[in-house]
Each structure stands twice: as C-alpha cells, then as structure tokens.
Amino acid sequence: MDLEKPPTGDVRRTAYTEERGGEGCLTVAIRLPVRIVALVLVVPVRMAWDALVAAGGFLGRTVFRPLGRAVGWLARAVFVWPFVGLWRYVVVPLAKAAGWLGLLLVVRPVRWVYRWVLSPAGHALAWCWARLVVPVGDALWAAGTWLARYLLVRPLQWAYRWVLTPVGHALAWCGRGVAWCVRTVVAGIAWAVSWVVRVLLVWPALALWRWVLAPVGRVLAVVGREAGDALGHAWRIAGRISLAVGRFLGTLLRWIFVEPVRWVYRTVLTPVGHVVRDAVLRPAAAAARGTGRAVRQAFASARESVRQVRADVRRALFGAPPPARPVRRPVDRREPSGAEARTLGRSTTALTKD
C-alpha cells in the first residue's frame, strides 16, 4: 500500500503516474466508481468539518476569548482586589498601630520597671545575701558541724570500736562453728545417700546394661541389618523384573498399534496430504494472494482518487497554493579550525587532480 502523497502539479502528477507503471483492468474499472463515491461522501464531510473548524475559530475569537477575559476580570474584582485592599488598607495599618501601642504601653513600662525597680531591688538583695546571710550561714554551719562531731560522731565511733566490733567478732566465731557443724552433718548425710543410691540403683542398672541389654541389642542390630539387606536385594530384583515386563509390554504395543499407524501415515496419509496441498491449498493460496494484491491496488487507486478530488476541490475553493520560496541559509564566516582546513585542502586537491 502506498502511504505517501503524490507531488502536486500537473507535470509532477504525470511523472508520478508514469513511475507507477501500468495498472490492471480491475483497478481502472474500480477507479471511476470510487471517485464518484468520494465526491458524494468524502467531500461533503470534509466541507462540513472545515465549516465547523471555521465556526469554532470564529466563536473562540469573538465569544469565548472576550467571555474568558470578562470572567477573569470579574474574578479579580470579586475575589482578589477586596482581599488586597483589606490587607493593604486595614490589616497592615492595624498591625502597625498594635505594634506601636504594644511598644508604648507594654515594652517601655516593663523596661522602666526593670531598670528603676527590679534591678536596684536585686542589687540590694545580693548585697544583703553577701554581707548578712552568707556570714550567718557560715557561723551556723560551723556550730552545727562542731556539735555533730562531738555529740554524734565521737560517741558512735566509741560505740563501734568498743562495743559493736567485739560483739561482731564473737558472733562471727559462733557462726563459723555452727557452719562447720552443719557442713559436717550434711557431708555425712550426702555420703550415706550416695552409697545407698549406688548400691540400690547404679550397680543393678550397670549389670542389667552390661549382661542383658547390650547382648540383646547386638543381636537385634544384626537381625535388622540382615533384614534391610534382604529387602534391598528384593527391591532391586523386583525393579529388574518390572523393567523387563515394561519393555515387553512397550514392544507389544508398538508392534500392535504404533507401527500400523506409522505405516498408514507414511504410505497413505502423506501422499494424500501432498496431493491436497499441491492440487488445492497452493492454488487457493495463490488465488487469495492475487485477490489481496488486486484489493490493495484498488484501495490504493481509491485513495489516490480521493486525494486528487480533495486537491481539486481545495484548488477550486481556495485557489492554487503560492509557490515555495527558497530559504537562504546564513553563511558561516568563522575561521575554519585545523581539522576543517585540512579536510578542505584535501577536497580541493582532489578536485584539482580530477
């Protein structure tokens, strides 16, 4: 299918038609009805579309754009300008007045009270603290320290040295003796219990393990190992037998079913399929390809006809398009670099030799 538009102009159209070569009779026969259908259907639809586009552009320029400007101006007048005026002429002056009143009624009185009342009072309290409270506190601390040392600490030291220490040593000696007695009694009881447990439990269990359980376990281990080996040999022999039976059944199935089906497919179905392919399918495919090629050519011719009709209608309604003017490219007047100069020199030399 040809998706490119042919060049405009009579001479170019003639050259384009000559380049396409000869066309079939089916294409020539379909061309005129397709052009008539394009003239009856496509051209009115395109004209209606162009009219709608022009009407839309006219409405946009004359109605929607001025309406948008009016709506934008109304929105600014209703929503933006009142808030701007409120902020500029109400909120800002009130904030400045509130700041000035706060400075005049709060900050300056507080600063004056701090400078002339609180600061002198604080200095007076600091002087009283340094000159009166601190010496009195030091004297009271020294007196309390001396009284605590001679009325509490010294008696407690004497009681600890001459009363509590001897009593503690005596109690510690008694505790060590009691602990030795208790340790001796517990050790004797533990020795007796250990001998009883050893005689009544450990030695019978050891004899039972050594003379009964160990021999019986060895016998059971031998019996289990032999049984496992026997089962393994039986499993392998059964696998060989199963493999032989499976091969026999596979061979029997192949000779009864597979080989006859293969022979039928090879000697009957394959020649029949080749005959059907050569006699029916390939001619049908060739006919389908020829039909598709003819249909594509018909569609291409119809599309070409539609393009020509549209170009003729556009030329009849709006006139021929102005000729294209050649675009002059700016000349690069910068100095060539070293690589460009070498390339230019080689090309000049080659042209001179030619």
Q: pLDDT of 119-144, one tens digit each?
A: 888 888 888 888 888 888 888 888 88
CA atoms within 13 A on the CB side of 41: 7
3-state helix, strand, coil in the chain (%, to 5): 90, 0, 10
Q: Which tokens hold the place of 118? A: 């609180």
Q: Which residue in 301, 331, 345, 325 sits closest to 1, CA to CA?
A: 301
Asked if 24 contacts 294 with a C-beta cutoff of 8 angstroms, the reply is yes
3-state secondary structure of 321: coil
Q: Position of tokens 């250990």?
A: 194
Burial 81-117 (b: 16+ CB within 10 A, else e): eeeeeeeeeeeeeeeeeeeeeeeeeeeeeeeeeeeee
The arithmetic mean of pLDDT across residues 171-175, rounded, is 90
**CA–CA distance, 17 with 33 (Å, rounded to integer):** 19
**CA–CA distance, 199 with 193 (Å, rounded to integer):** 10
Q: Which residue in 51, 54, 52, 74 sits closest to 62, CA to CA?
A: 54
pLDDT score of 312 = 77
Average pLDDT, the chain: 78
**CA–CA distance, 300 with 24 (Å, rounded to integer):** 12
**What is the pLDDT confidence band of residue 94, given thresholds at 50, 70 and 90?**
very high
Question: Residues 43-55: pLDDT tens digits?
Answer: 566 667 777 877 8
pLDDT score of 150 = 84
**What is the pLDDT confidence band of residue 1, given thresholds at 50, 70 and 90?**
very low
Q: Which tokens hold the place of 315? A: 């030329």
With a cut of 80, say whether residue 37 has pLDDT above it: no
Burial 147-174 (b: 16+ CB within 10 A, else e): eeeeeeeeeeeeeeeeeeeeeeeeeeee
Q: Which residue in 224, 302, 259 sits closest to 36, CA to CA?
A: 302
Asked if 23 contacts 297 with a C-beta cutoff of 8 angstroms, the reply is yes
Q: Position of tokens 């754009």?
A: 65
The arithmetic mean of pLDDT across residues 319-330, rounded, is 63
With a cut of 80, say whether residue 231 has pLDDT above it: no
**CA–CA distance, 137 with 154 (Å, rounded to integer):** 24
pLDDT score of 174 = 92
Most confident of 124-128, 300-304, 312-316: 124-128
User: What backbone torsions phi and psi does residue 253 show, to the nearest 5 degrees?
Assistant: -65, -40
Q: Which tokens hold the place of 8? A: 């405009």
With a cut of 80, say whether residue 353 has pLDDT above it: no
The arithmetic mean of pLDDT across residues 315-340, rounded, is 60
User: What backbone torsions phi and psi does residue 322 show, to the nearest 5 degrees?
Assistant: -65, 150
Return the DSSP state at 8: S
Q: Which tokens hold the place of 261? A: 């089906």
